[in-house]
Structure formats: C-alpha cells, structure tokens
Structure 1
Amino acid sequence: MNVWLIPSSLSTTPTALSTPHHHLHLPIIPTKLSLHNTLLATTLSFGFFLSPFPSSASVLQPTPLPIPLSTSSETCRDVELRNITVPTAPEVVTNEGLVQEAWQIVDDDFLDTGRNRWSQDTWQLKKNDILSNTIQTRSKAHNIIKRMLASLGDPYTRFLSPEEFSKMARYDMTGIGINLREVTDENGDHRLKVLGLILDGPAHSAGVRQGDEILAVNDTEVKGKSAFEVSSLLQGPNGTSVTIQLKHGNCGPVESIEVQRQFVARTPVFYRMEQTESDAAQIGYIRLKELNALVRKDLVIAMKRLQDMGASYFVLDLRDNLGGLVQAGIEIAKLFLNEGDTVIYTAGRDPQFQQAVVSDTSPLIRAPLVVLVNDKTASASEIVASALHDNCRAVLVGKRTYGKGLIQSVFELQDGSGVVITVGKYVTPKHKDINGNGIEPDFQKLPAWDDVSQHLSKCSMLQQG
C-alpha cells in the first residue's frame, strides 16, 4: 500500500472532483511520511496550475536506470537506490482482501471531524457485517468500499477507481517532468533526489534519471533548500530552458543538463501602488489569486518593488483565493512573521499529524499589513490569514473565511485503486479550529491606517501579557 499526504483545499469537495483535481497528481510515496517532511517534499495542490503532458508521456513512474559499465559503478548505484523506494506492480489481491485493506486504513488513520461520533468499535462491527459474505466481483468490492466510506459522513473521504488514481500520478510541480524528494544521508545532511520521472518528459529526454541528486539550478546551489523551493526555481515560462547540475548515482559523475520547460507557469501575484485620499501614504496592494509553487518568489519580488516605490503600508488580498499548496501558504506567512512565531498547528490521531509549524526566518517587511478575506478564502489561504492575524502582524478585513482546514492522505490499494481519507486538521496559532468555523475578520470595511496600527499595537501588548 502506498500513501500520499495531501493538504486539503476547497477544491476537494465532491462537486469539484468530477474532474480529478485536488492537490494530487502526486509522486507515489510508499511509506507514511510525517506532515513536515511530506509538505517539504511534495506539497501539492491538485489541478490548480498545471497542465498535464500528453497521456502517452504522462505516466509518472520510475525509469529504468542505465546499465552500469563496471562493478564499482553498479555498487554505487545500488547504494544510491536504497534511499529511493520504487513503487512495485500491484499485487494479486482477493476482493475480500481489498475491502479489508480499505477498512484497515480507516481504522488506523481516519479522523472524524464531524458529528457522527465515529468509533473503532462500530467500525469493527461494520467489517464483520461486510465480510460475512463472499464478494464475487471486483466491481462489487469497489462499490462496497464506496458505501463503507460514505457511511463515515465525511465529504472528503472517498474511493478512487484505478483510472482516477492513475491520473493522480501525473503530477509535475516543476514543469520539466520530475518530482523531488528530500533524503537524509548517513551524516544527517539533506539532499534532493529525483523521486519520479515522466517518461519521455523534458527532464527524462535530457538525461535526468531516477535517483539523481540535484546540486544546482541555473548556477544556484540548492543545498539547504526544500523540494518546494527548488521546484519553484525549476519553473518558468513555456519554451524557456533551465540548467540543472546533478550527480548521477552515489559516486557521480556530476553533469550539467539543459532542460526545456513544457508548461506555462502563470504568476498568481498581481500588485500596484495606491495612495490614500486622506493623506499622502503610499499603499502597496498585492493580490494572490492562488498559492502555487511560484507564489513565494513572485511575492518577494512584488514586495521589494513596492518598497522601492515608497510603500509604507501593505494590503494583501486573499479574497476568492481557494488555497493551493499548503507549503506555499506556510512560506507566505513566514515572510511576515518573526522567527519563532507559530504558523499553524496540525492535529490528528497519528502522532505524525500532531505538529507545530514555526517560522525560522525574520520578516521581509515590518510595515502595518491589512489582509482582505471573504467567504471564498479557503484552506491554505486561511493558514496565511490566521497566522498573520494570531501573531498580531495583520488586521483582517472583509467577511468570515470559508472554514476548510482538513488534511487528507491518499492511499493506494493493491489493485491500483485508492482511497482518500481525512487524517488531520489545522488549528490556528491561538488554537482555534479552522474547519467548519472559518476566521472572523477584525473589520468589515477597510479602517483608517491609524486604526490599523493601533489595533496591531494593542494585540501585541495583550499577547505579551
């Protein structure tokens, strides 16, 4: 069984899933990863900003490595591959075994965030009832799993047919047809490896192979950077090229490869300078349409340009932003937070989902900030809004946010189908549950900037005790 962790966004609602969407198209990660590591390695938002490659070239799977020329290189390559788990072909499984596998996933990891009062005792009774009779066909087994998951009363927990699950394996957040994974070596150092390749995609055609270590992108060393940050460096306009320095295997050689990008990376950041009517204050207005792999880089550029133009206050517009990459939301929040500030908490039955994400950098700006929100500000956007609000860095203006703060994991079953299970939820720095509640703004209409400064100052004093 393979499992992927996915940050939940508004687009995971049953209606939106009529087309395979949500943060998926992931590389297969064949073990249960911690939230932190998974977000860094493969933080994804499905269907928001990527155009899949043609179907003939879009199956994301390991590519056979070149046959080594010597015993020493073979040994080196074998050592290297111990750090990369290769997805295997589906095993033969009985219909009853398939249903039991799906049942067990729920029993181990499902987090009931509704009012159904789910319990393992009642879930055990359901299994006994379901498996009391022989299941004759695979189609019937799939239907049983669908009904079993539907009985949980969670709109985000659902079954994926083999066809739907296969489409999820086409995700590429780099634009060159690779997925990256952070691997810790024996010295405790983090290295970035190519986890999966799109066969005949740009990187594969240029000579990149599974297990290769990424050393630099366009002469920028990637040591110490997350998979998310490096994926952002790899992205760019369709038809442009990116130069990757990589090491084949554990022992080299090191090679620089030029790869042509094959999808259009659209910036989600729009900005302009405005001036208030009452005084000469310069306002830097920034709108984020979505949170994708480009958003942090482009937001930094926008803020620096607005500062150079004389902006003394900033407005961050998150209205109608349905979310996207959770890691992008976390990185955006860190741009405004002090080192040590809590960005978000996660909660779940499994200890790996009981985490605190903390800012590890100093803020890019310290100017007063207004964040515009409405009832379509959701998921990762709510993480940004709550982090800035609860840490007294921003005043929220507008309407109560949507209230989507769940975490789902996608598990592959042995016949190539899959299940999406709610396994955790997000809690704000002030320990408020986002899901189903949303975030209440401080003002419905934009206040005077003096009022903004006073509100933030009062918030800071109360927070410090």
Structure 2
Amino acid sequence: MVPLSYAPPLPPPQSRPNPSPSHKPKPQPCVLLFPAALRTAAAAAAISFSLLAGNAAAVAPVEQPPEICRGQDDGREVEVKAEAVTNEQLVEEAWEVVNEGFLPDAGSRPWSPELWMQRKQDILQGSIKSRSRAHDIITKMLASLGDPYTRFLSSSDFSKMSKYDMTGIGLNLREIPDDNGSLRLVVLGLILDGPAHSAGVRQGDELMSVNGIDVRGKSAFDVSSMLQGPKETFVTIKVKHGNCGPVESMKVQRQMAARTPIFYRLEKRDNENSSVGYIHIKEFNAVAKKDLVSALKRLQNSGASYFVLDLRDNLGGLVQAGIEIAKLFLNKGDTVIYTTGRDRQVQNTIVADSGPLVTTPVMVLVNNRTASASEIVASALHDNCKAVLVGERTFGKGLIQSVFELHDGSGIVVTVGKYVTPNHKDINGDGIEPDYRRLPDLNEARDYLMRCQSKKLN
C-alpha cells in the first residue's frame, strides 16, 4: 500500500546531530494515530463494493510521484522521493492486507494466521526476478484462499475503480470519533494523482468544510455527496493537515463524475385507477441516493400512489449507497443489516436514523442477477414489511469486499466482511426467495404487507 506520510525520514542514527543548546532537533510533525486494526486500511483507499468480474491481467509497474511532506515548524513543503518497492515487498504488502482483514469464512479452504504465515515464508524463500512475476505470485496467492471475490487488479483495472469514487475528487473518508464523542472526517485514502491528491490533500488530513459548510459531525456518506458535482467544476474544501497541523483552504477541480443509475417514469396499470411510480436502479454508486430522492419526490408530486423498484440485473455497487437507499423506506430504528468481520469497524448493526421518505406500498422486482447491495435493499424493505418481492430468487452474495491500492499502482480486492438480513438470514450462496412470481395488484400487495406487519408486532 502506498503510504502518504507527513514526517520526512530521519537521517541514519550515526548521522543524527547530538542535541545541544545551539542545535536542537526539530519537533516531529503531529500525525494521526490509527488503531492497530485500521493501520492496513489507513494506508490504502478502501472502498466497499460488490464484484462479479473475473481476474485481471498483470501489467508493468507504474512509477510513483514524489511524496509531499509538511514540517510542523514552518509549514513549508519538502519533497521526499518515495522509495521504490521491491518485488518481494510488493508480494508481502498484498500478503499483509489479507493477514489483517480477510474474512476466513469467505474462502472454500481452511485459513488461519499460522497457515497464512507459512504461505508467505514459502513464497519469499527465493528472489522474485520481475514485476510481472510478482503479480503472478500475488494472483496465485489470493486464488489459494478459495474465495472467488478476493483477487488481484492490474494498475489499469485498479484505475477503473474510480467509478466507485464516492466524492468525485478521489478521496475516501472515514468517520473518527474525537475525545468528546463527536465525529471527525479523516482522509483514509486517496487516488494517487487524483484531484484531491494533486491539490495537496494527504492521508490523515481532517476535512473541515465543503463550500463553506462545516461538515464536522456529518456522516462520511452525506459529505461525499456534498463533494460530488459536474465534471470539471470546482469545489472548495478546508482541511487540517495531520492531527495538529495547519488549516488550508483549497479549490479542487472535479475530474470524475458518476453517471446517474436512476431511470423512472409514471405509469398506469391495466384495471387500476391509481398511478405507479416505476424506478429502475442500474447500480449503486455515489449519486444513486441523491438521484433516487429526486425521482421519488417528482413521482409523488405527479400522483404516484405506490412504487415499483426494479433491481433486476443490478449486481450491486457501493454497499454504503445500498444501505442509505434502504433507509429512505424504513421507520426510524428499523434494522437495515447486520455486518460482521475481523476488523471491529466491519462489526455493526445498521439501523435507520430517521423516518421514511415514502410510506406508500413498494414492490421490488428481483431476479437471479440481483446481487450484493441490491440484496441489502431488497431484504431490508422485505423484512421490515415495507415491500413485497416479485420475480426470481436473487443471486445470494452476502459478502463485502474492499479495494486496496498497492505500492506500484496495482491493487487487490479482499473480502473483509459479510452481512445477514434483518431477519437474521444468511443469504450468501442461497439468495432471497420472492413473495410473488408476477406483479400483484395494489390491493393484494397492501394486504400482504398488513399481514406482515401484524405478524411482526406479535
């Protein structure tokens, strides 16, 4: 993983000057200290999403730009050349990501820290002569886990992950509680040479405002939406460098704009006097929630009596986007999903924190290509008696992946967690059975949901 540190390396021990009244060592810059469980993730841009694609091919290494370090005493920028990573170090880097966060239950083969350590020792017994050979070793090492979703990404395939960029400026935010329990938004990772990185944002910086709006206490997802905007437009952000460094305001040009995955229309069904708002969600990306809210409001204002949410052939996307969309339909306190993983950050019970935007009946269309984040939405609405499911059994992907950038610009996808539905059903490999094969009429769907709610109360 590519570290983006503030502290310039100290000289070798034998060359360090002895402290004296006339020659005092410079104070070290303050840095953000992450808990041990987060150190691996903190050194990479980790994005939770769903993947069904195959393995990627290896490519030649990419030369990395020099890192920018800031001294605490005068704020001047000092360039420090990033040390070239060896082939052996690259393999060990990928090994360490798995060692820190891989979910053992995800693989079809036995996994333990001891077995994984032995694997590293066997691999690194000899020298690795080329970068392409290192990539091949990483590919085979990950394949040995028996998890179809944990895999290697070439640098070209890793660059395509920018479609999952939550902000449009190439950074990933993490909510970190301060000493008072309030949330601070800290830069967990960046896309190297992306807009934010080029503007001077670094890992560990705290994001303080967006276009003059204080974002302290807001969720990472909501602030990511605030950062989004049309391609090549500018957003003004204020960041505090490091844990106690200077505050800097900067204009960042958006270079990555997510396309809307929301398509909607108002329809009339045969033998019904009411209108239905039909909404097709192609995938869950950074703008899905914002555009869905707009679609729901426009359809409601146009007279929609109920909604059909089409998740067929939606293979997923950003897990957090799916969670936030599910919350739009749930009552405050309703469970969205239960997640679990080796990292405590993945162990969570996620509930809706406000009331629903929509209270009318919802029918969710699903098929055998409805997967991951789509299944989160479908199960959350179904188990909380907010929607009936119509169509075919879903794909059955209850695992959560994160993407990690390696030091040479390539990356790996690693399964780090799993989830179960609000009714405590593990859908992985099994999927969700629909309530109807064909679309019911409004009265039938309404009766089904009333029976569901009555059963839930009892």
Aligned pairs (5 A) from 1:252-267: 255=249, 258-267=251-260
Range moving further from structure 2, 134-143 or 396-405: 134-143
Alignment of 1:329 with 2:322, yes or no, is yes
Which of residues 283, 291, 307 is equivalent to 1:314?
Answer: 307
State the SS of the aligned residue for 1:64.
strand
Range moving further from structure 2, 227-236 or 365-374: 227-236
1:283 counterpart residue number = 276
Q: Residue type matched to 1:111 in 2?
A: L
1:363 counterpart residue number = 356
Alignment of 1:130 with 2:134, yes or no, is no
Cα offset, 1:436, TM superposition: 1.0
Which of residues 64, 68, 75 is equivalent to 2:68?
Answer: 64
Structure 1, residues 180-199: CA drift from partner, whole Å, max 9, x if none? 34343333322334555667
Alignment of 1:372 with 2:394, yes or no, is no
Alignment of 1:111 with 2:115, yes or no, is no
Contact kept in structure 1, 2:361 and 2:446, CA below 8 Å: yes
Q: 1:287 to 1:131 in 2, by over 3 A?
A: closer
Contact kept in structure 2, 1:202 and 1:261, CA below 8 Å: yes
Q: Which runs of 5+ in 1 are unaligned?
A: 4-28, 49-57, 79-86
Q: 1:352 to 1:458 in 2, by over 3 A?
A: same
1:10 counterpart residue number = none
Q: 1:367 to 1:416 in 2, by over 3 A?
A: closer
Q: Which runs of 5+ in 2 are unaligned?
A: 4-33, 53-61
Q: Residue type matched to 1:188 in 2?
A: G
Q: TM-score, normalised by structure 2?
A: 0.73
Q: 1:61 to 1:120 in 2, by over 3 A?
A: same
Structure 2 Cα separation of the partners of residues 372 and 217 of structure 1: 37
Structure 2 Cα separation of the partners of residues 426 and 264 of structure 1: 29
Which of residues 379, 388, 396 is equivalent to 1:395?
Answer: 388
2:58 counterpart residue number = none
Structure 1, residues 31-73: CA drift from partner, whole Å, max 9, x if none? 6449xx99xx96454899xxxxxxxxx99989636677xx4x6
Aligned pairs (5 A) from 1:159-170: 159-160=152-153
Give the aligned length.
413
Cα offset, 1:298, TM superposition: 1.1
Structure 2 Cα separation of the partners of residues 100 and 275 of structure 1: 59
1:229 counterpart residue number = 222
State the SS of the aligned residue for 2:416.
strand
Structure 2 Cα separation of the partners of residues 45 and 114 of structure 1: 15
Q: 1:61 to 1:359 in 2, by over 3 A?
A: farther
1:450 counterpart residue number = 443
Contact kept in structure 2, 1:42 and 1:228, CA below 8 Å: no
Structure 1 Cα separation of the partners of residues 115 and 240 of structure 2: 49
1:81 counterpart residue number = none
Which of residues 181, 191, 195 is equivalent to 2:184?
Answer: 191
Structure 2 Cα separation of the partners of residues 201 and 349 of structure 1: 30
Structure 2 Cα separation of the partners of residues 337 and 148 of structure 1: 42
Contact kept in structure 2, 1:228 and 1:327, CA below 8 Å: yes
- Percent identity over the alignment? 58
1:404 counterpart residue number = 397
Contact kept in structure 2, 1:375 and 1:402, CA below 8 Å: yes
State the SS of the aligned residue for 2:68.
coil
Structure 1, residues 185-234: CA drift from partner, whole Å, max 9, x if none? 33332233455566775556767676664444345443332222222122
1:7 counterpart residue number = none
Range moving further from structure 2, 111-120 or 436-445: 111-120
Alignment of 1:343 with 2:336, yes or no, is yes
Structure 1 Cα separation of the partners of residues 398 and 64 of structure 2: 29
Q: 1:60 to 1:240 in 2, by over 3 A?
A: farther
1:274 counterpart residue number = 267
Structure 2 Cα separation of the partners of residues 349 and 186 of structure 1: 25
Structure 1 Cα separation of the partners of residues 316 and 343 of structure 2: 25
Structure 2 Cα separation of the partners of residues 354 and 183 of structure 1: 16
2:146 counterpart residue number = 153
Contact kept in structure 2, 1:60 and 1:171, CA below 8 Å: no
Alignment of 1:428 with 2:406, yes or no, is no
Structure 1 Cα separation of the partners of residues 363 and 144 of structure 2: 42
Cα offset, 1:456, TM superposition: 0.6
Q: TM-score, normalised by structure 1?
A: 0.72
Cα offset, 1:272, TM superposition: 1.4
Q: 1:264 to 1:67 in 2, by over 3 A?
A: same
2:17 counterpart residue number = none
Q: Residue type matched to 2:375 in 1?
A: E
Cα offset, 1:395, TM superposition: 0.3
Q: Residue type matched to 2:392 in 1?
A: K
Structure 2 Cα separation of the partners of residues 450 and 62 of structure 1: 64
Range moving further from structure 2, 369-378 or 178-187: 178-187
1:299 counterpart residue number = 292
